[in-house]
Structure 1
Amino acid sequence: MDIIFLLKAIIIAIVEGVTEFIPVSSTGHMILIGWAIGFEGKFVEMFEVVIQLGAIMAVVVLYWKKIKESIIEFFKFIFTRGREGKKGFRFGINVVTASSPMAIVGVTFYDKIKLLFKPEAVIVGFIVGGLLLLIIEKKFADRKHKVASIDGITPVQSLKIGILQLLCVWPGMSRSASTIMGGWIAGLSTPIAAGFSFFIAIPAMIGATGKDLFEFDYSIMTLTLWISLIAGFVVAFIVSLIVMKKFVEYLKKKPMKVGLSILFCTNFIRTS
């Protein structure tokens, strides 16, 4: 049992849990920190995707009531031919609509996207992503919003959010930040945009994890690797659950730019 390797895996899992749902790139931070501590290789590539699923499971737990009700209403709408379950059906369509651009691009260019997972690309993503977030928040986030809840989002707004989410295929460009920017442009308030970003992360990460697990060469797995994978999944889940709650509370009280200015400067200094 390689304890040092396990500790490195736990560090990366903590990084994932902290960064997955705040508007900084979780993938970018894992790549840079993994490079800095010598945590790299084929297993690590699969590990980073799987622990992202652990983080997404925190969404399922935290918003289980909403997810369960929406699924029930979605099928109720279908079976009653539209007489019942309109709200859940509309929510489901919005999630599918927002997830479609990423699904199409991810499946088509998955191998090419993986080639970008290098520290140099991450640094560019950090800088460009941070600047874009500050600029778009200043221009769009303070507009008068007509959407009072997640259930009030329209399919057109969902599509705009899904298109902006494509920015995160470049490592260092945050998925959360990309979807929140899409929400601002579409006319959503910051808390609602952030909340919706949590939901549309679910299909994206399940798809990415499924592909990596299916294609992975399990012949290289050892006891250390199996324990590291399980521990990383659990740690990412627990940390994400805590961070999500705090992040949503923060967005209800303060504008994004207060925290983002600090995060952007920290990233810039770290990578310079």
Structure 2
Amino acid sequence: MQEGPKRVSSDGDAERPNVARLFDYYLGGAHNFAVDREFAERSIKLFAVDEVARTSRSFLRRAVRLCAASGIRQFLDLGSGIPTAGNVHEVAERVDPSCRVVYVDNEAATVAHGRAMLRGSATAAVVHADVRDPDAVLNAPETAALLDLDEPVAVVMVGILPYLSDHDRPVDVVAKYREAMAPGSHLVISHLTADLEPDLMVKVADLATVSGVTLTPRRAAEVVELFTGFDLLEPGLVPTGRWHEDGEDASSASCLSYGAVGVKQP
């Protein structure tokens, strides 16, 4: 059974829905407020947004298991949200309890939740930084304490890149992380797309706008470009529900995003 939420200061954030807490609610977590639950229930009546969240989390679990099975023992999860409901440290530590995880998020309230949950952990920490500022992420004290970037690391970017506009130059952002990664490191990406379910993608984007964020879905070729300098593992770039599918993702939500894992070339 999942533990109840630890007390953190919301600084007034409980007055409006929060993307990280919404995601937590869709996954069945307990780290959310009444305003999030009310918004989430209204959203689910419009379309199965909870299935979208579960599909994303299912891909994350499978990708982390593959990375850990390949010998990766350190993970950098960018745009992680609240580290609950089957997140990276839980999955990786089932393979090897010595796995180390650094979560990164740019929302103060989300970081506060994460730090409260991970208080006392020697193998997981949360960095308050923006994915678009790799120097701040990579030079954070928590990163330096837990990760050795001279050794292979898995950089996890599940669901975060659609929050970067074209003006943010996501290809360049990913390239900066690639430069800091040792050969043999893994890059895990899932990215929303309108290629396969365009009508449903419109609903997702509209719902995001209502909750105060803007999403930029991208085509397959644009997502592949993010893996420049990496060799894609089988089956390559495919809808997330079909990447090493295990029968969990049978709905149309599984075709709303592409997923892939790449290994940095020597």
**Higher strand fraction: Structure 1 or Structure 2?**
2
Instruction: Provide TM-score, normalisation by structure 2.
Output: 0.26
Based on CA coordinates, which of the two structures has the bigger radius of gyration? 1
**Bigger share in helix:** 1
TM-score, normalisation: structure 1: 0.26
